């Protein structure tokens, strides 16, 4: 139960840390810049290792598809371009929710020693959700994003370890949505850079 409590507190702490850092003008630019490194690292950490063991190079192709498909849609249809980032963000967040569910199942005592790693990276998950949603969609949607992650974790914990041994299809889906999340991050970086230039 202590492991579950820690995994629930960590995303909330990440969200609070975002607010604390953004109240300090000197830290804001450094923090925002670090997120362009931290989120790709999070995606690689969550989506690639298990799927690579099962599918090898196919994982990179699926990850690339997740990055490239929204960009292709934007270029093919100007009417859809304004909504592509929101759709990619929703897909990307669905991957975080699925991963939270599986982590909840993994936290059921199994003697694996997985809890410290889970709790550490869930701090980054909370930061990521708040960084992506709070500036774009406001406090309410960012709070809902954190709440869904917490609910998925509790649901996974309640469901137990039978869901821990998930199949390759789930892992490939997480690679795809990880790519979608990277698309949103890279697009946000270009938008923020253009905004600063103007």
* Size of the chain, expressed as the number of residues it contains: 198
Contact 21, 160 (CB under 8 A): no
**Model confidence, pTM:** 0.71
- Which residues are CB-neighbours of 67 under 8 A, at least 6 positions away? 179, 180, 182, 183, 186
Where do the domains of the chain lie? 2-193
Among residues of the chain, what percentage have pLDDT more than 70?
Answer: 76
Task: Extract the tokens encoding 72.
Answer: 């292709």
Residue of higher predicted confidence among 194 and 166? 166
End-to-end Cα, the chain, rounded Å: 51
**124-139 confidence digits (pLDDT tens):** 889 889 988 888 889 9
């Amino acid at each position: 139960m202590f492991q579950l409590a820690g995994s629930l507190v960590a995303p909330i702490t990440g969200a609070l840390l975002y607010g604390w850092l953004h109240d300090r003008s000197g830290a804001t630019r450094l923090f925002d810049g670090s997120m362009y490194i931290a989120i790709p690292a999070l995606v690689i950490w969550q989506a690639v290792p298990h799927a690579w063991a099962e599918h090898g190079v196919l994982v990179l192709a699926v990850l690339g598809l997740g990055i490239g498909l929204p960009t292709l849609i934007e270029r093919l249809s100007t009417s859809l371009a304004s909504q592509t980032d929101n759709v990619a963000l929703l897909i990307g967040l669905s991957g975080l929710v699925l991963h939270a569910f599986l982590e909840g199942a993994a936290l059921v005592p199994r003697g694996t020693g997985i809890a410290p790693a889970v709790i550490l990276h869930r701090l980054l998950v909370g930061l990521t959700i708040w960084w992506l949603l709070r500036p774009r969609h406001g406090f309410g949607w960012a709070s809902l994003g954190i709440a869904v992650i917490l609910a998925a974790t509790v649901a996974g914990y309640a469901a137990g370890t039978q869901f821990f041994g998930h199949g390759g299809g789930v892992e490939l889906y997480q690679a795809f949505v990880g790519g979608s999340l990277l698309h949103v991050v890279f697009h946000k970086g270009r938008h923020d850079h253009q905004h600063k230039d103007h």
